[in-house]
């Protein structure tokens, strides 16, 4: 609690800036009107959950006895292990057969000792059950590791204590700090930001690396310190546990008012708090009631294709065995009837029922059983023993494989079940995303175009790969891709007079910045002909964003907490160019500019008036700011097609050159954004801002449309400044991996939202495409309904004997919408 009181609070109210994502209509039923109250499903079927905030003891007894926060993903427990494991073992046809023969071996017709039949069966079944137990024990230990994580929980009187996750109850108030996972599904009450904004990473839920914004109700914002929860009480009525990650319906009864809740206030279990010092939340769903656990399924009984194939083979062998035994028993019955009376030395008069010549049919039946046991080794029980031992050994080798060790996280591969080991060798198709899968999702600022001039001399990874393939003559010779990539050649001449380095490039010592061009570094940009445009370019990089600067207390270094890696790369680039963003307040952004004044480094304040954030529909971001000369400037960055459509007639001076550079950057596999600005008159801004505030505070289903319409009024008549190009590098070993997979006959599909030229060159860089391969490009026109409904770019690879063929298909021009 003392630490919480001592924590310096970030005094930022993002709702003053954010427009589309965060600012919603008031969450009270009074604001929504009587119709909203009467039409609410809360309290009806499927919406019966009641949560007493900060009073969890009520949920530990009936009628509100909710499950604990303990989770289990194991397949067995102490009581169910023996019956379930035995059932699993005797699902195998062979084990059923051996069980039958083991039972028959206890009868007098068995030609040898019962131990010889029972012992191998017990060994095989026992070994398989031990393997299942060990694998389930590993799952149990992983569950215990999660259940024993600790989180700060309110214990009463405004004091918090650490408890294990498994001890959490519905209604508990918890405090989660930066980079921690949420222990259960929570209702966000407040955060380290003054207006309850927090950033959430949902990569464990949906694979998305971009951060999501959550915002608490305004009525709970005063709950900002540990002591404020001493007398906190409230009642949440909401939907019952369900598997929908993106919906939530409920309301909060607090201080005699009812406030509507929606998904923007819900923090889901297994998502992580990012870029926010801490949050307070109240537990709504625990354990297996949480949405992520509702989406999980019980550990299934997995059987490989080989095992199913073996069952079929067992059926065939058993049929052959029965046929052989039947022929043998018929022959035995015939000989017993016809020949046994003449064989005096066998003393037929003393025969028992197993070889009674007076009852040959009965003797034949007994011999059939004997033959089934005697010829039973036609079905080899040792095969199953060998397979089980091999599977256990394979799982051990997978877990210990040094080539599958991740040095960054310190994690090794984990074979949670060895039943499907052989399936790894039967994969025939791979479907892969590009960003974050083939690439690192770590952006490096590499090149830029400013005022029609391209800057940045370092080659991209795609350019180096293409040059190496050209130099090696890959189009004419069958050279393994690893030889191309591991070439030690230092320079490649692409065309006459143009030479650049393609050898092992020196890694940049600055994370996020691989730019190299003396014309812009160390303040040399001030000597360029268009220094004013260069100044505007750098200021757009340093001001047009939503990032937060943080100082590392140990090293004193400044880092940026940004929503996307692209934004972080822009800020690092601005800092290296001499425009360091170092402070943000509620209304201003502060920049240290090194080379804009003769007095050395100057701290400048830029007042942020409005922020229209980036989203997938707008494809642009705009900041309206007031500089130190009291001028109002609109700064806008976004997709080139969006920005070019909004340029003024006098703002297209650099459009031809910038377009050329953008195409070059795209062919080099770089991610591009166009930068622009606009000077606003005071009267024009005041008039627009009044209409903007009116749309921002409106209530109704057309609020988003009104905001879009008002934003379009100001985001026009722009002046083009230039463009940025950042590189998302391929992960180490991707080209070699894809090449070997292709040689093994696997079909590979890679999906990306890049332009066609960019995708083709990235295909070459990652060895998905190679010189001399046939390419087929499919495209659609803008008016095609298919192009309007979907946008897809895919690269397909398959092998036909030794001939490799590639097909590139693209539905455009709506590609970037996808």
> Under DSSP, is residue 9 helix (H, G, I), strand (E, B) or coil?
coil
Which DSSP string do the residues of 681-698 spell out, in sequence order? -HHHHHHHHHHHHHHHT-
Query: Which residues lie below 8 Å from residue 430, measured CB to CB, with a gap of 6+?
Result: 741, 746, 747, 748, 749
Question: Cα separation of 699 and 790, whole Å?
Answer: 32
The torsion angles phi and psi of 167, rounded to 5 degrees, stand at -95, 0
Which are the contacts of 734, defined by CB distance < 8 A and separation ≥ 6?
A: 438, 766, 767
Grouping H, G, I as helix, E, B as strand and the rest as coil, residue 644 is helix
**How far apart, in whole angstroms, are the C-alpha atoms of residue 256 and residue 234?**
9
Tell me: is residue 752 an annotated ligand-binding position: yes
d(CA 333, CA 336): 5
Please report, for residues 110, 344, 353, 365, the alpha-carbon distance to residue 350 in angstroms, rounded to integers and kept in the order given: 21, 11, 10, 20
Whole-number Cα distances in Å, 304 to 116, 136, 391, 425, 594: 29, 18, 12, 11, 65
Whole-angstrom CA distances from 468 to 443, 489, 502 are 23, 8, 7
The answer to whether 791 and 811 have CB atoms below 8 angstroms apart is yes
Cα–Cα distance between 337 and 343 in angstroms, integer?
Answer: 11
State the residue for tokens 């020949």: 339
SS3 (DSSP) at 362: helix
Which runs of consecutive H residues, i.e. helices, occur in 377-526?
Answer: 381-400, 461-472, 481-485
CA distance 405 to 513: 27
Instruction: Find out whether 337 is annotated in a ligand binding site.
Output: no
Check residue 458 and report its DSSP letter. Answer: P
Instruction: Determine contact, residues 725/670, Cβ cutoff 8 Å.
Output: yes
CB 516 within 8 A of CB 510: no
- Specify the DSSP class assigned to residue 421: G
423's CB contacts (< 8 A; 6+ apart) are 304, 305
Cβ atoms < 10 Å from Cβ of 234: 21
Annotated binding-site residue? 68: no
Cis peptide leading into 258, omega within 30 of 0? no
- Report d(CA 449, CA 660) in Å as an integer: 10
Would the annotation count 433 as a binding residue?
A: yes
Q: Residues 259, 264, 269, 275: is their CA dihedral positive or negative?
A: negative
753 a known binding residue?
Answer: yes
User: Is 671 annotated as belonging to a binding site?
Assistant: yes
Active site residue ranges:
433
435 is in an annotated binding site: yes
Bridge partners, 792 (sequence order) = 811
Q: Which helix (H) or strand (E) holds 291?
A: helix 291-294
Residue 490 DSSP SS3: coil
Length of the chain (residues): 818
Task: Please give the Cα distance from 447 to 455 (Å, whole number).
Answer: 6
- Residue ranges for the known binding site are 433-435, 567, 614, 637, 671, 752-754
- Residue ranges for the known binding site for ATP are 433-435, 567, 614, 637, 671, 752-754
- Residue ranges for the known binding site for Mg(2+) are 433, 435
């Amino acid at each position: 609690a003392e630490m919480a009181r001592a924590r310096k609070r970030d005094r930022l109210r993002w709702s003053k800036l954010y427009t589309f994502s965060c600012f919603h209509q008031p969450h009270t039923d009074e604001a929504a009107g009587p119709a909203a109250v009467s039409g609410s499903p809360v309290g009806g079927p499927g919406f019966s959950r009641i949560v007493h905030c900060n009073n969890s003891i009520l949920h530990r007894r009936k009628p509100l006895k909710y499950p604990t926060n303990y989770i289990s993903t194991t397949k067995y427990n102490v009581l169910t292990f023996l019956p379930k494991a035995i059932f699993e073992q005797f699902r195998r046809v062979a084990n059923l057969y051996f069980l039958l023969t083991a039972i028959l071996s206890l009868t007098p017709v068995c030609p040898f000792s019962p131990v010889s039949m029972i012992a191998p069966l017990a060994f095989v079944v026992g070994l398989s059950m031990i393997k299942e137990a060990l694998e389930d024990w590993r799952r149990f230990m992983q569950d215990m590791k999660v259940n024993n994580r600790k989180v700060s929980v309110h214990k009463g009187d405004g004091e918090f204590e650490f408890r294990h996750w498994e001890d959490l109850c519905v209604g508990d108030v918890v405090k989660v700090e930066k980079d921690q996972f949420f222990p259960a599904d929570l209702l966000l009450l407040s955060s380290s930001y003054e207006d309850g904004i927090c950033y959430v990473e949902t990569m464990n839920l949906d694979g998305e690396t971009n951060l999501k914004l959550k915002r608490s109700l305004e009525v709970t914002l005063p709950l900002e310190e540990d002591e404020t929860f001493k007398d906190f009480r409230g009642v949440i009525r909401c939907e019952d546990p369900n598997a929908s990650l993106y919906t939530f319906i409920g309301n909060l009864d607090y201080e005699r008012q009812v406030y509507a809740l929606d998904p923007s206030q819900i923090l889901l279990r297994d998502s992580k708090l990012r870029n926010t010092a801490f949050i307070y939340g109240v537990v709504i769903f625990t354990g297996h009631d949480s949405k992520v656990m509702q989406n999980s399924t019980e550990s299934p009984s997995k059987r490989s294709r080989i095992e199913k194939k073996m069952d079929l083979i067992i059926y065939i062998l058993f049929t052959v065995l029965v046929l052989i035994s039947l022929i043998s028993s018929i022959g035995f019955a015939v000989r017993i009837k016809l020949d046994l009376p003449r064989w005096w030395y066998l003393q037929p008069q003393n025969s028992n029922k197993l070889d009674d010549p007076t009852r040959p049919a009965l003797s034949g039946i007994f011999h059939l059983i004997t033959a089934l046991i005697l010829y039973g080794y036609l079905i080899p029980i040792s095969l199953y023993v060998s397979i089980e031992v091999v599977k256990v050994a394979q799982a051990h080798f997978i877990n210990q494989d040094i080539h599958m060790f991740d040095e960054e996280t310190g994690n090794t591969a984990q074979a949670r079940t060895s039943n499907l080991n052989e399936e790894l060798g039967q994969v025939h198709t791979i479907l892969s995303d590009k960003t974050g899968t083939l690439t690192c999702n770590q952006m490096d600022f590499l090149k830029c175009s400013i005022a029609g001039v391209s800057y940045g001399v370092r080659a991209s990874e795609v350019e180096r790969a293409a040059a190496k393939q050209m130099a090696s003559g890959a189009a004419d010779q069958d050279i393994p891709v690893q030889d191309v990539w591991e070439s030690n050649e230092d320079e490649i001449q692409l065309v006459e007079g143009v030479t650049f380095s393609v050898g092992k490039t020196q890694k940049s010592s600055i994370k996020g910045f691989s730019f190299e061009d003396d014309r812009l570094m160390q303040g040399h940009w001030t000597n360029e002909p268009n220094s004013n445009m260069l100044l505007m370019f750098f200021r757009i990089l340093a001001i047009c964003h939503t990032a937060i600067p943080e100082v590392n207390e140990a090293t004193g270094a400044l880092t940026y907490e940004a929503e996307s890696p692209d934004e972080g790369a822009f800020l690092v680039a601005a800092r290296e160019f001499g425009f360091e963003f170092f402070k943000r307040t509620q209304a201003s952004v502060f920049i240290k500019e090194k080379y804009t004044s003769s007095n050395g480094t100057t701290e400048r304040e830029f007042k942020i008036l409005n922020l229209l954030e980036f989203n997938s529909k707008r494809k642009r971001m705009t900041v309206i700011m007031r500089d130190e000369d009291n001028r109002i400037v609109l700064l806008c960055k976004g997709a080139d097609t969006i920005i070019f459509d909004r340029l003024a007639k006098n703002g297209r001076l650099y459009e031809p050159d910038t377009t050329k550079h953008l195409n070059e950057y795209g062919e080099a596999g770089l991610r591009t954004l166009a930068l622009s600005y606009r000077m606003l008159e005071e009267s024009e801004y005041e008039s627009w801002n009044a209409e903007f505030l009116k749309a921002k505070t409106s209530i109704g289903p057309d609020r988003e449309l009104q905001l879009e319409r008002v934003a379009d009024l100001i985001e026009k008549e722009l002046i083009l400044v230039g463009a940025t190009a950042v590189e998302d590098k391929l992960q180490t070993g991707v080209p070699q991996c894809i090449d070997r997979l292709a040689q093994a006959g696997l079909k590979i599909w890679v999906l990306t939202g890049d332009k066609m030229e960019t995708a083709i060159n990235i295909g070459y860089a990652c060895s998905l495409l190679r010189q001399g391969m046939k390419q087929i490009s499919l495209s659609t026109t803008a008016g095609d309904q298919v192009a309007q409904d979907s946008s897809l770019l895919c690269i397909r690879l398959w092998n036909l004997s030794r001939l490799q063929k590639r097909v590139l298909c693209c539905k455009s021009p709506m590609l970037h919408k996808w």
